[in-house]
Amino acid sequence: MAVAVLAPTCFAGWLGWHAVAGGSGTGGRTAAASTPAASTPAGSAVPPPPATSERPSASHSPSPSESKGQGQGAAPAGRPLAGRTVVLDPGHNPGNGAHPAEINRRVDIGSARKECDTTGTETDDGYPEASFTLDVVRRVRTILEAEGARVVLTQDGDRAWGPCIDERAAAGNRVHADAAVSVHGDGAPASAHGFHVILPARVVSGAADTTPITGPSRTLGLRLRDSFAAATGEPFSTYLGHDGIDVRDDLGGLNLSKVPKVFIECGNMRNSADARRMKDPEWRKRAAQGIADGLTAFLTGPGR
């Protein structure tokens, strides 16, 4: 998920070869842009527009308690997520490449300082990760709203760049989301394939304290993994994690979250088979259903 601005990868990039070949969008273990962060004068970054984009469901106006993600009582028949708030985070932004100074600006992720964002990766024939993630997230939103959820997006194609990784975490915290999912596509070596879900490690440093969310985030991640595999037929990652699950401590979007949150790398956009599926609107429809099913299973499961 993380890439140099002029050589797309993804924000959730990872160590080793990822720093050379680029990764997808999960949190930049690679440079975010070709312009070094140190070259951006203090205070020169363009102030970001509002961090979230919210489109209320046409058929459901949240009550004050629902706006806090704290629905009370039994959900109406056919609307199992009434009273629930979900934040969906489409990784990256198609405009990031035109704003190297802004996205190279370093922000605090609790345990370190990292670039605001990266450009994301793309398929070999140029289908951008940022376009993939926004399309899938919009489809997920439609499904969840039909189930009664209030859905908030960190961006909805309404920003010139960003938001930064700290803003993406703050979006879920601000609305007291019941769950948050960041959607990405990876940029691993072409021989690698499959999807994986990234869980937050326990991080207690600076502004970060994931202690309260590691347990529920793991439950969310397992539900999401199982439902995504069932809906899409995509195999577990052959290159990261174990049984489709990875745990990381270097992603600001997870470190700074105060609500249950995970990332999903839906496939490797540099692998020809994964890329072919990810470019297919029918497959993206199934991917969205899998993500929505995982969120619904988590939000309606025991203890929720």
As annotated, the active-site residues are: 265
Count of CA atoms in the C-beta half-sphere (13 A) of 282 = 2
- C-alpha distances in Å from residue 150, one per residue of 12, 25, 223, 248, 301: 26, 25, 20, 28, 18
- C-alpha distances in Å from residue 13, one per residue of 25, 145, 152, 285: 6, 31, 25, 25
Residue 151: strand, helix, or coil: strand
- Which one-letter amino acid corresponds to residue 105? R
User: Before 100, cis peptide (omega within 30)?
Assistant: no
Q: Answer whether 185's CB lies under 8 Å from 132's CB.
A: yes
Residue 75 CB contacts under 8 Å (≥ 6 apart), including other chains: 81, 82, 83, 148
Angle between helices 214-232 and 281-299 (to 10 degrees): 140
Q: Answer whether 53's CB lies under 8 Å from 153's CB.
A: yes
Distance CA 110, CA 206 (A): 5
